[in-house]
Amino acid sequence: MSATADDPGGRKKFNEENMEKLKRSDKKQQQLRERVSKTGKLTLEQKSAWDTNSNEALKNFWQTTFNAKVDFDAEHEHGAGRFSKTATSLAATAYDFLRDLSPIVEIVKDFGAPFGSMAIGTVCLLFAVAKNRANMEEKIESTLKDIKDRLPGMSMYQHIYNDNHELDRLLQSQIVDAYESFMDYCVAALDFYTQRSSYRLIRVFKSQSSLDQQAQLVQDAVVRVRLVCEEVLGKNVNIIREKLEEVLITNVALLDENDLKSLGQICTHLGIESFSSEDHFDQLQRHKGNVAAYFWSKTWLGEQESDQQLGRVLSDPGYQEWLVSESSGVFILSGENDFNGASHCWASPVALNLIDQLTKDGNEASDTCVFYLLGHQEHDDTCLRVLTSLVFQLLKSNKEALRDKAQLDELLAKLTRYSRLPRSPSEENSKQDSLAEVVLRAVKMIPADKTIWVVLDRVDKCCDQLQADSPGGRRPRKGARTLLRTLGSLTRGMATKVKILAVVNRADWRIEQEGDEVGVEEGRVVIRRFSQGGGFTETL
pLDDT at 363: 60
Least confident of 227-231, 345-349, 448-452, 479-483: 227-231
Max mean pLDDT range (115-129, 271-285, 435-449): 435-449
For residue 334, what pLDDT band results from cuts at 50, 70 and 90?
A: very high
Q: Residue 394's pLDDT band (boundaries 50, 70, 90)?
A: very high
What does the pLDDT look like over 208-241, one tens digit per residue? 678 888 888 888 888 888 888 888 878 878 888 8
The DSSP annotation for 332-367 comes to: EEEEE-SSTT-SS-TTHHHHHHHHHHHHSTT--TTE
CATH 3.40.50.300 domain residues, the chain = 278-539
pLDDT: which is higher, 521 or 230? 230
pLDDT at 115 over 80: yes
Arithmetic mean of pLDDT, 44-57: 76
Q: pLDDT digit string (tens) for 260-288? A: 888 889 999 998 888 888 888 999 999 98
pLDDT for 60 equals 75
Percent of the chain exceeding pLDDT 90 equals: 25
- Do 393 and 266 form a contact (C-beta atoms < 8 A)? no
Q: What is the pLDDT of residue 440?
A: 94
Q: Compute the distance between CA of residue 171 and CA of residue 225 in angstroms, rounded to an integer.
A: 6
Beta-strand relationship, 497-505 and 329-336:
parallel
Beta-carbon count within 10 A of 191 CB: 17
156 pLDDT higher than 80: no
Task: Just give the CATH number of 278-539.
Answer: 3.40.50.300
Interval 52-97: pLDDT, tens: 777 777 777 777 766 644 444 444 444 444 444 445 566 677 777 7
Q: What is the rounded CA–CA span in Å between residue 256 and residue 341? A: 48
Q: Is 539 helix (H, G, I), strand (E, B) or coil?
A: strand
